[in-house]
Amino acid sequence: MDINYFLLMRNKYIIMVENLDSIINAYDDICEYTNDYDSRENTKLCILFISDINIDFFIKKRKYIQELKNTCNQHIYSLCKHEFINDSIDIDEDTSKTITYCRFCELSDDFK
């Protein structure tokens, strides 16, 4: 497979991880809300939808997708004909930081 495949897959995995993060955060928010405003009905909802088994499923899937993304990054790094550039990014109004990354694959030179 060529580098374009791995670049596409990495971007898809990034989206998947972000979505799984949103799901995990929503689970946490619902359970936190349920604990704060405990009622019989809320407790039933938490047990039905927010059990540890359900949240563990999403956490495991997130970890697996993250591993796939890391594998893509390794393939990208080995396949790319890197051209590293230095760029400055603003941290806040008074602070900036210099970063180095490949203009093609966007991985930093310290990824190795």
Q: Kindly report the pTM of this predicted structure.
A: 0.74
| Residue 88 backbone dihedrals phi, psi, to 5 degrees | -110, 130
Q: What is the largest CA-CA distance in the chain?
A: 60
Confidence (pLDDT) at 1: 84
Residue type, 7: L
Quick check: 88 and 63 in contact, CB under 8 A? no
Break the chain into its structural domains and give their ranges.
3-79, 82-112
Instruction: Convert the pLDDT of each residue in 4-43 to its tens digit.
Output: 999 999 999 999 999 999 988 888 777 666 555 555 555 5
The rounded distance, in Å, linking the Cα atoms of 7 and 111 is 15
- The CA-atom distances, in angstroms, between 77 and each of 54, 81, 100 are 35, 9, 14
List Cβ neighbours of 55 (8 Å cut-off, separation of 6 or more).
Answer: 24, 27, 28
